[in-house]
Amino acid sequence: MAPATKWRRAAPTRKAQASRRSRPSRSRAKSQPRARKSAKPGTGGGAFFHVEVRPKTGLKTLRTHDIGDPGGIERVAGRGASGSWSTVTWLISKALAHREGDRLVADTTDARNLLRTLGAQPRHVRGDRFTAKDRRNVPERSKPAPAPKRAERRNIKKAQAARRRG
């Protein structure tokens, strides 16, 4: 046997229903409870400066890698159709850098090193967003640079001469 008191959802009254039906659809939609909208990207409310070095178009997957200390500098990498990963955006914590006019100025050595390795000085777009060029791609045939190659050859010759002597 069911309990004597049963909870039921209260039905809206006929008067309330009639007033809702009589309103145009636009005002009926406006009277509905509204959820809080999420902030638009680049408005300046986040914890990171975004330095975009490559467009996201044509990438299948995006992943974030924390570089160094947690929450400091992060790398957003995208996977292309060929399967290779490339840097799309660098995220620099607002604790590590600040904005002066249209420039991004590093406050720590980690951020300074990152900004130095970029192919160009980051340019301000809007809010927290900047654009820059990625560091240039050095072909494998030119690695290592000529100076280390010469030093290596010199060291090998020294070692061979020492072996002959002793």
Note whether residue 72 is domain-resident. Answer: yes
Q: Beta-carbon neighbour count of residue 50 at 10 Å?
A: 21
Letter for the amino acid at 130? F
The predicted structure's pLDDT at residue 141 = 79
Domain that holds residue 97: 48-131
Tokens of 8: 């039921």
Note whether residue 5 is domain-resident. Answer: no
Low-confidence ranges of the chain (pLDDT < 70): 1-12, 32, 39-44
**b/e map 106-124, b = 16+ CB within 10 Å:** bebebbeebbeebeeebeb
Q: Please state the separation of Cα 87 from the chain's center in Å.
A: 10
The predicted structure's pLDDT at residue 153 = 94
Note whether residue 26 is domain-resident. Answer: no
Q: Can you give the pTM of this predicted structure? A: 0.60
Q: Is 150 helix (H, G, I), strand (E, B) or coil?
A: helix
Letter for the amino acid at 75? R
At a CB cut-off of 8 Å and minimum separation 6, what does 123 contact? Answer: 102, 130, 131, 132
How many structural domains are present in the chain?
1
Note whether residue 142 is domain-resident. Answer: no
User: What are the tens digits of pLDDT across the range 82-129?
Assistant: 888 889 999 999 999 999 988 999 999 999 999 998 888 899 998 889
